[in-house]
Amino acid sequence: MSRTVIVVIDGFGVGAMPDAGALRPGDAGADTCGHVLDHARTRGDRPLRLPVLGALGLGLVHPHPDLARRTHLPVAAGRAALGYPGADTFAGHQTMMGADFSRVTVARLAAHLDEVTGALRAAGHRVELLDGRPLLVVDGAVLVHDNLEADPGINWNATGRLEDLAFDGILAIARTVRAVAPVARVIAVGGHADGPLRDYVRDGDGGTVGLDTPATGVYRNGGLEVQHLGAPLDHARQLPDLAARAGIPVTLVGKAADILACEAAVRRPAVPTADVFAHTLEAVRAPGDALVVANVQESDLAGHQQDPERYGRILEQTDAGLAALVSLLDRPGDRLVVTGDHGNDPTIGHAYHTREFVPVLIHRPEAPGVELLPDAASLADIGATAAAALALDPTALASGTRIGRTDEVA
């Protein structure tokens, strides 16, 4: 009997990858973890307190005066490169679960307006440009636009106010767009905005035009509905499906419930960090084996808002949640894996993700001591390592190789 919990701190990087400055030269200095800690130390009222992340080995991976440099917990600690182009939550999670996402197509909506407009009109929708800009208004209610929260051209969104159209209607529009879109994902978003969506349209980098989604208020106003429509993937060769076919209960929490595919999974979508950990702890307390994948989204939102103080508060809240998980995952064979999907440095000067290494911190109750891991080539190696810990065959995944000796039970 064993339980594996993967906690993804969304947007939590530990330093720029070698190619981080290719799109934006300033990103070569990205360091989400270090800069959030530095901000609290120099501009906040006190340094951040992250005792559990420190005990899990974060200070071994990213030395800092406010992180412990030693630990007595049985952990394995290292870093992972992303293993996919750019820096994107969807591509990051799909890769982490074992998909080969190394070929992500990058495309601006402006280059595909004719195809998208034609598909929508063929489906019976009324379509027009918004004020002559490369952004579509569908049925007078839904905006189809470039996603401004990821690197230019990675994703497109179909966004509507639930007062104007039910989410099923927004989703139907997004599915029509998905059928002709060459990008990694099309995201259907329905929520309650502070005003008309057209008031929040702005230019992005690289000729993109889209909605400033955090500024609309949909993340804080309640009732948010989101569905991520990804490029075709063989989900049977990803970790959740592999575990479910082996009879292991699978729970997807937070944003992971929105973006990972597994028909057998229990889904617990949530944005507030407290809710994410409440759902995660509930799943861990259930009897028997378990695979839980949880996403802490509020850290990523703080990065997009360029708010290092909020980011620090979310890290401290996450640290408290991890303390409860460490105490519960105490059986030989249990694993707690703490990682990220990309960086989102809130001090970098822009609201995009940053291409950074992410931590790989693994708690192993039965292990004799601390293991320092080599850098993993891809987030897919995390999925392969988790598969091995669950006594599953990592080679059944589409991509990934287990890291170090972290799947071995003493």
pLDDT tens for 197-210 read: 999 999 988 889 99
pLDDT attached to residue 44: 77
Q: Are 218 and 189 in contact (CB under 8 A)?
A: yes
The mean pLDDT value for 351-369 works out to: 95
Please check the confidence at residue 237 and state whether its pLDDT lies above 50.
yes
Is residue 408 predicted with pLDDT exceeding 70?
Answer: no
The predicted-structure confidence for 131-173, as pLDDT tens digits, reads as follows: 999 999 999 999 999 999 888 888 999 999 999 999 999 999 9
Per-residue pLDDT tens digits for 45-85: 899 999 999 999 999 999 999 999 999 999 999 999 999 88
Rounded distance, CA 410 to CA 397, Å? 25
Asked if residue 406 has pLDDT above 70, the reply is no
231 vs 380: which has the higher pLDDT: 380
pLDDT at res. 409: 40
The pLDDT of residue 410: 34
Q: Among candidates 152, 78, 114, which has minimal Cα distance to 376?
A: 78
Distance CA(185)–CA(353), nearest Å, equals 16
The mean-pLDDT minimum among 60-64, 65-69, 327-331, 350-354 falls in 350-354
Across residues 254-261, what is the average pLDDT? 94
Give me the pLDDT at residue 405, please: 66
Query: Given this model, what pLDDT does residue 22 score?
Result: 87
The stretch 171-198 carries a mean pLDDT of: 95
> What is the per-residue pLDDT for 300?
97
What's the pLDDT score for residue 103?
65
Above 80 in pLDDT, residue 353?
A: yes
Tell me the per-residue pLDDT of 111-133, one tens digit each, with 9 for 90 and over.
999 999 999 999 999 999 999 99
pLDDT tier for residue 401 given thresholds of 50, 70 and 90: very high
The predicted model scores a pTM of 0.80
Asked if residue 333 has pLDDT above 80, the reply is: yes
Q: What average pLDDT does this structure show over 3-23?
A: 96
Mean pLDDT (the chain, rounded): 94
